[in-house]
Structure 1
Amino acid sequence: MKSFGEPWPEFNDGLHYRDLIRSSDSGLTLIEFYSKKYENSAPFLGWLQRIHNKQITIDGNAVTDPDTILREGMELIYYRLPWQEPDAPHLLEILCEDDDLIAVNKPSGLQVLPGGLFQQRTVLTQLQWRSRKLTSSSACQEPHPVPVHRLGRGTSGILLCAKTKLAKSRLAAYFADGTSVVGVSRDSNSELNTMRKITKIYRALARGVINEDEVTVEQPIGQVRYPGVAKGLYVASPSGKPSFSRVDVLERNMHSNCSLIQVEIQSGRPHQIRIHLSFIGHPLIGDPLYVAGGQPKCFDPDVTDESLAHDGGYQRPGNPVPGDCGYHLHAHRSVFPHPITNEVVDITASLPSILRTQEESKAITQG
């Protein structure tokens, strides 16, 4: 298999955030605008620090007076200074590629899309760099690939990316259609069966010995307030959205008190497998966040840390957050119709050694 990826520079390029003042914001002061609209980025004192540090311009001119009155039509730009992002792998293995799509084997520890501390060290960045490189060495314009779904930063395995707008819309529809018929048996209705066009199978290592050979989990997943997660944390919630996971036990290890499992998900809720396994009392081994019941290990939504980081933002929370790694979860196999030709595409990503059965490990050793 071919791989690609450029080593990360020590510091990223920083970011520019642009706002055009609307009539509804006219009359606000500069500090009122940023501290209210972007309170999840930094507290009041943090935005004061950024203003005094000349990181905000109005119509191209740096402004250091936080009480500057804003008027409709003004262009504001906040420049987030370059920073050293946390360590992340950079190599991606190509599993399948043609003119319409590329599937890569994402390593654990690499984020898919920009967010939080990871703005450059992402799969998207590596795809962009590769696309530019191919374009510069070719007479034709190479399409720019984009991921059509997400995997958690700590999750490894198959990530599907589209190279064209048509492929992107159709692949995204496969995921959406599957979620819309959550919980319906594959064999109970042929019409619904055709709607669920994509099969997603994962391998994972769960804590404890699961007695049943097969377990179905249909616990809804919703969001709650959680320090350090601006949009809220996904948890097991009776008022959440329908979610469906089928768990098959492959091996049980009594000595290590764990179970090697295969999980097929119909829906694709964020952190679904981590939440569902913890909900039934078997959280993933090494998961720093979710514990039995599908809830976070540390949960006090009213606790906030308003101390400032170097750039004026909030300090990284001391409690675990969804992007923390340490668990063993791998997107092992995907089966779906090609978005353009409609031919069946069956992709497999090689398993990490810890997620192989004894028979699989023996076969690799002997082969």
Structure 2
Amino acid sequence: MSTNNSDTTHAPSPATFGEPWPEFNDGLTYRDLVRSPDSGLTLIEFYSLRHQSSAPSLGGSKMVRLITVNGTVVADPNTALRTGTELVYHRRPWKEPYAPYLLEVLFEDDHLIALNKPSGLQVLPGGLFQQRTVLTQLQWHIKNQELCPVPVHRLGRGTSGILLCAKTKLAKTRLAALFADKTSAVVGNRKIDNEVSKVGKMSKIYRALARGIINEDEVVIDQPIGTVEYPGVAKGLYVASPSGKPALSKVHVLKRDVQNNLTVVQVEIQSGRPHQIRIHLSFIGHPLIGDPLYLTSGKPQCSVPETVDETFAEDGGYHRPANPVPGDCGYYLHAHQLVLYHPMTNEVVRITAPLPPVFLSHESGK
């Protein structure tokens, strides 16, 4: 494959889009077919296992009134299920928590759109946020039915900055392959502002506010990241783990603020594990300022079991977990720069998201 050596820097654009959120979302509909491994489970047991974020195992009578079994509403949560039974769970519309809705366009062509995501906005549906997401705004904005706009990676809900999205299926496929490329691969010893290492690689630079004073000017963190069971996180919580997958973060100190006991840092990663920067800075004893979850050793601050809430939300779903979870905001992390080979043209593309005021304030010393 030939490489186009042209190099384009894309400055931030003032273009923004976004529609205010409706008071209520559209609710959810889960359709399931009972297969042989689940035969014999009760109705509430099935949903407790299959849809953990929407169907707790206790006090299920309210939720059961929203379920049909082979087209008939049932009243008994202990109804036994048989193989081949068709289930439909209608979760009623609900008021989602506050989330911003305006998105700034940093770069756009026929294949890609890069957005400046505000802190507090979730990227994809999950948990209490099913409508108030970047994906929804993107779909509302790009109404061309021949296109299928979708984010190709995630940023934490509390993380701001560059979010890369595909506008076509082919661009999505190629970008997904690029992001799936070995995270443990390093961009050689060359600086990101010169070039990415080769086709199929990318580099991302973040700004972060870390607690305490980091004495070294440069820190390389290669602590693997894995998962552990954690209340409120169905697929497990990402943490620093010797048995986890490789992860590499290059930390560069920009300013030491002794008065406020914090360090402004620039962190370079390639593709990245979920919550990698939060975990890595916590691992070296300098968690992000305001992080409610990762406080020490790259692991959660809360190790005691969560108190079970036996009540249901009005729509039949879970209340939010009592313990801190990854989607909680409060920390200061910004995806500031992205350098990659364009998946369709092979052009080196550089995108920058303006720094939020809190970073400008600390970097200027005001």
Same fold (TM over 0.5): yes
Is this contact kept in 1: 2:225–2:240, CA < 8 A? yes
Counterpart of 1:249, as a letter, is V
Which deviations, in whole Å up to 9, do the C-alpha atoms of 1:40-79 show, x marking residues without a partner?
543333433311xx20012333222335453443321001
Q: Does 1:89 align with 2:92?
A: no
Is 1:18 matched with 2:31? yes
| Aligned equivalent of 1:109, options 85, 103, 120 | 120
Which of 262, 268, 277 in structure 2 is aligned with 1:264? 268
Following the alignment from structure 1 to structure 2, what is the Cα–Cα distance between the partners of residues 173 and 305? 40
Q: Is 1:98 paired with 2:109?
A: yes
User: Once the two structures are superposed, what CA deviation does each residue of 1:79-117 show, in whole Å capped at 9, x if it has no partner?
Assistant: 111111110000000111111010000000000000011
Taking a change above 3 Å as real, the CA distance of residues 206 and 14 of structure 1, as seen in their structure-2 partners, is: same
* Inter-CA distance 28–230: structure 2 relative to 1 (3 Å threshold): closer
Worse overlay, 105-114 or 209-218? 209-218
Partner of 1:307: 310
- Asked if 2 retains the 8 angstrom alpha-carbon contact of 1:6 and 1:126, the reply is yes
Residue 317 (structure 1) aligned with residue 321 (structure 2): yes
1:171-210 alignment runs, 5 A limit: 171-181=175-185, 185-186=188-189, 193-194=197-198, 197-210=201-214
- Counterpart of 1:283? 287
Matched, 1:30 2:43: yes
- State how far apart, in whole Å, the 2-side matches of 1:11 and 1:44 are: 26
Name the SS for the 1:127 alignment partner. helix
Distance change (3 Å), C-alpha of 1:35 and 1:330: closer
Q: Shift in Å at residue 359 of structure 1?
A: 7.5
Uncovered stretches (5+) of structure 2, i.e. residues with no partner: 1-13, 191-195
Quote how far apart the aligned CAs of 1:176 are. 1.6
What CA distance in whole angstroms lies between the structure 2 residues aligned with 1:184 and 1:6? 39
Higher mean Cα deviation, 21-30 or 86-95?
A: 21-30
Provide the C-alpha distance between the structure 2 equivalents of 1:34 and 1:359, rounded to a whole number of angstroms: 49
Q: 1:206-221 counterparts in 2 under 5 A?
A: 206-221=210-225
Q: What is the aligned partner in structure 2 of residue 247 from structure 1?
A: 251
**Which residue identity is paired with 1:221?**
I
Structure 2 counterpart SS, 1:193: coil
Partner of 2:139, secondary structure, is helix
Helix, strand or coil: the match of 2:197? Answer: helix
Determine if contact 1:43/1:306 at 8 Å carries over to the other structure: no
- State TM-score, norm by structure 1: 0.88
When the two chains are superposed, the root-mean-square deviation of aligned CA atoms in Å is 2.3
CA contact (8 A) 2:307 2:322 kept: no
CA displacement at 1:165 relative to structure 2: 1.3
Distance 2:40 2:321 in 1: 34
Q: 2:181 aligns to what SS in structure 1?
A: helix
Pick closer, same or farther for the CA change 1:294–1:83 going to 2, 3 Å. same
Are residue 167 (structure 1) and residue 171 (structure 2) matched? yes
More helix by share: 1
Which structure ranks higher in relative contact order (CA pairs < 8 Å, sequence separation ≥ 6)?
Answer: 2
Alpha-carbon deviations, 1:129-172, whole Å to 9, x = none?
1123xx4xxxxx45121000000000000000001111111112
Q: Distance in 1 between matches of 2:215 and 2:365?
A: 23
Secondary structure of the structure 2 residue equivalent to 1:120: coil
8 Å CA contact 1:34, 1:47 repeated in 2: no
Contact kept in structure 1, 2:148 and 2:169, CA below 8 Å: no
Instruction: Name the residue aligned to 1:122.
Output: 133
Amino acid of the structure 2 residue aligned with 1:237: S
Determine what percentage of the aligned residue pairs are the same residue.
68
Listed as ranges, the gaps of 5+ residues in structure 1 are 136-140, 363-367
Superposition map of 1:310-349 within 5 A: 310=313, 311-349=315-353
The alignment of Structure 1 onto Structure 2 pairs a total of residues equal to 348
| 8 A Cα contact 1:226 1:232, kept in partner | yes
Name the TM-score, length of structure 2 as normaliser.
0.88
